[in-house]
Amino acid sequence: MSTVLVQGASRGIGQALVRTLLLRTPYDVIATCRDPETSQSQITSTLDSSLLRRLFVYKLDVTRESTIVNCSEQVKKNHGEKPLRLLINSAGILHVEESLDQINVDLMAENFQTNATGNLLVCKHFVKLLDMDLEAHREEQNEAGDSMDLLPKFAIVANISVKTSSITDGLLGGWYSYRTSKAALNQLTRTLSIEFTHRKQNVISVALYPGIVDTDLSRQYLKKKPSDNVFTPDQSAGYLVNVIKNLKLDDSGYLLTWDGKKTTF
Give the chain's domains with CATH numbers: 3-263 (3.40.50.720)
Q: Which pTM was predicted?
A: 0.91
Least confident span in 47-51, 107-111, 170-174: 170-174
Q: Do 4 and 146 meet the contact criterion of CB atoms below 8 Å apart?
A: no
Residue-level pLDDT at 215: 77
Is 225 a residue whose pLDDT tops 60?
Answer: no
pLDDT in tens, 114-164: 999 999 999 999 999 998 776 666 667 666 666 788 999 999 999 999 877
Cross-strand pairs, 255: 207, 263
- Give me the mean pLDDT over the 172-188 stretch: 88
Q: Do 186 and 204 meet the contact criterion of CB atoms below 8 Å apart?
A: no
Is 223 a residue whose pLDDT tops 60?
Answer: no
* Rounded-to-integer distance, Cα 48 and Cα 55, Å: 12
pLDDT in tens, 53-68: 999 999 999 999 999 9
Q: Which is more confidently placed, 264 or 84?
A: 84
* Rounded-to-integer distance, Cα 21 and Cα 11, Å: 15
Least confident span in 22-36, 132-146, 235-249: 132-146
Is 72 a residue whose pLDDT tops 80?
Answer: yes
* Rounded-to-integer distance, Cα 199 and Cα 216, Å: 39
